[in-house]
Amino acid sequence: MTELMVAMTIGLFITLLATGLLASNQAAYLAQDQYAQVQETGRYAMEMLARAIRQAGYKKLDAASSTTDIHPHVIGMDASSLKRTTAGLDAAASSTVVNGSDVLALSYASDEAMFNCAGMTVTSVDKDEDAWSMFFVGRDRTGEPELRCKYRSRRGWNADAIARGIESFQVLYGLDADDNGVVDRYINASDVEAMDDVIPLNGENAIAWLADRQQRTHWKKVRAVKVSILVRSAQAARDEDAKMAYHLFDAAYQNADDIGVHINEQDMPVSERKRIRKVFTQTIQLRNGGAADGI
């Protein structure tokens, strides 16, 4: 009887040990799998953003009379979101903005050799009308944040998700204020708009003032775009509740308009704190004569 009890105790101990090892291995596998997913999501999102940014300002070879240079080809909005099916930069309600994420809008000539941010060949109802790729963050039906792109097709405006798990999307713009081809500083969209607000406008009425502002806007002096995203895993895969802080761009960067550049897990619901997270940042130079030629 004693031998049986000893054997049962040893067997139970081995079973518990094996169960613990299995659970540990499963947790390690989940963490590795979710980290790989975060890496792939970040890489893909950055690749899509970089490709679209490099397309900004593209013109057809026969576009001498095109309206391509009338408006800037890079425009942004701080702490904003967009409506999915309404025309252009139609801002959504502030309550839909995810962690102070920004909006980045890029235009380029409609050409079937080009692709929009949804990865589809660009077509336009008007061959002389520019195409647009507009990036913003929204939430799907389950509440998961995702990077979306808004574009115009023959059927109208629409927005598709291109990367899930994007908790914050932040943008800075490299301004060449003295037109020497070199970026002088990086500022946010609100600062660009503030510079435009003090331009002494010419014209006799509001329509003329608006046209003059569009022609002389500082958005046309953008020569590079710096983007940063915070990507999270689809599942909780961390054991510790470390309440980490994430800094898009860097910890020293501060601007009251950029409320989404510093994300703290302690401000999140407990159920979301154990997601794996990683910041991805990249600076992309504009290839097509800056934000607009002839400026």
Per-residue pLDDT tens for 136-184? 999 999 999 999 999 887 788 889 999 999 999 999 999 998 888 889 9
- Averaged pLDDT, 128-133: 80
Report residue 198's pLDDT band, with 50, 70 and 90 as the boundaries.
confident
Report residue 14's pLDDT band, with 50, 70 and 90 as the boundaries.
low
Question: Is the pLDDT assigned to residue 100 strictly greater than 60?
Answer: yes
pLDDT attached to residue 50: 95
pLDDT attached to residue 294: 35
CB of 110 within 8 A of CB of 124? yes
Q: Which residue has the higher pLDDT, 9 or 243?
A: 243
Comparing C-alpha atoms, which of 119, 130, 112, 126 is closest to residue 57?
Answer: 130
- Averaged pLDDT, 9-27: 56
Q: Which residue has the higher pLDDT, 246 or 117?
A: 246
pLDDT attached to residue 222: 95
Report residue 65's pLDDT band, with 50, 70 and 90 as the boundaries.
very low
Report residue 71's pLDDT band, with 50, 70 and 90 as the boundaries.
confident
This prediction has a pTM of: 0.84
pLDDT attached to residue 3: 59
pLDDT attached to residue 295: 34
Percent of the chain at pLDDT > 90 equals 43
pLDDT attached to residue 181: 83
Tens of pLDDT along 213-262? 788 889 999 999 999 999 999 998 787 777 889 999 988 888 888 889 99
pLDDT attached to residue 149: 94
- Averaged pLDDT, 281-295: 70
